[in-house]
Amino acid sequence: MLKNQLFRPYMVILALVSLLLGGQALANKAENTEALQNIKKNLQTLIPVEPDQINKTPVDGLYEVMYGPRLVYVTEDGRFLLQGSIIDMQTRENITEPRLMKAKIEAVEAVGVDNMLIFSPPEGTAVKHRVSVFT
């Protein structure tokens, strides 16, 4: 029941994003094949969409799993899934945020300018901000 409550709203989004991104092959594959298989097998029971990427993190035994611009963390044995940010307490650096920003930018770029409605200020007026809206 928890898995349905946790992932139900994201299932449709994940499926659409995966289709939008063309089902990219796993990039930067995890080095440990057994861990990769455990993670993929256990994730498949919660999220029936192939992940775009599975990468090691700086935390031993913890892998990041990307579904388009969505990121979750899974333990090496595939048993535990975590959502949220990883903060390096020594450097006070958020390790998750740069990965999420990159994935979001890639998702917007994958749409392509030809598929966007673009409203611009009158010619000669400086563009102060940009807003991307998805429906």
Which residues, other chains included, contact 95 with Cβ-Cβ below 8 Å and sequence gap of 6+? 57, 58, 85, 86, 87, 88
pLDDT, residue 51, reads 92
pLDDT, residue 31, reads 55
pTM: 0.63
Q: 12 versus 57: which is more confidently predicted?
A: 57
State the average pLDDT for the chain: 78
Mean pLDDT calculated for residue range 72-95:
94
Task: Please report which confidence band the pLDDT of residue 115 belongs to, taking 50, 70 and 90 as the band edges.
Answer: confident
Question: How far apart, in Å, do the first and last CA atoms of the chain sit?
Answer: 28
pLDDT above 70 as % of the chain: 76
DSSP character string of 29-55: --S-HHHHHHHHHHHHHH--S--SEEE
